[in-house]
Amino acid sequence: MRDNSPTHDVEPFIPFGVVVQGMEVMESLYSEYGENSGGGIRAGRQGPIFEQGNAYLSREFPKLDSIIRMVAVEK
């Protein structure tokens, strides 16, 4: 939700989109899990996500928001 490129390490982080409309929706997403909801790739904690997928995320992080639909527009 912001430019955090100064905190990136040598691994590339690729943004998957730009919000062009509906920023109020982005700002309303649940953020209390922070890095614990899957941001553990550098700590090697994403195994359960890869192995169990949404079932794991739903069980362990019931308030985690998901993107269920998006529209790609040419810029």
Q: Which residues of 38-59 are buried (b: 16+ CB within 10 A; e: fewer)?
A: beeeeeeeeeebeeeeeeebee
Residue 73 is assigned to a structural domain of this protein = no
Residue 34 is assigned to a structural domain of this protein = yes
The tokens for 32 are 């209390």
Residue 69 is assigned to a structural domain of this protein = no
Residue 67 is assigned to a structural domain of this protein = no
H/E element holding 35? none
Q: Is the pLDDT of residue 17 over 60?
A: yes
Residue 66 is assigned to a structural domain of this protein = no
For residue 24, the enclosing domain spans: 5-60
Instruction: Please report the pLDDT score of residue 20 as a whole number.
Output: 77
Mean pLDDT (whole number) for 16-22? 75
Q: Is the pLDDT of residue 7 over 70?
A: no
Mean pLDDT of all residues in the chain? 76
- Residue-wise pLDDT tens digits, 34-59: 765 555 555 667 788 889 999 998 99
Residue 71 is assigned to a structural domain of this protein = no
- Three-class secondary structure of residue 3 per DSSP: coil
Structural domains of the chain, count: 1
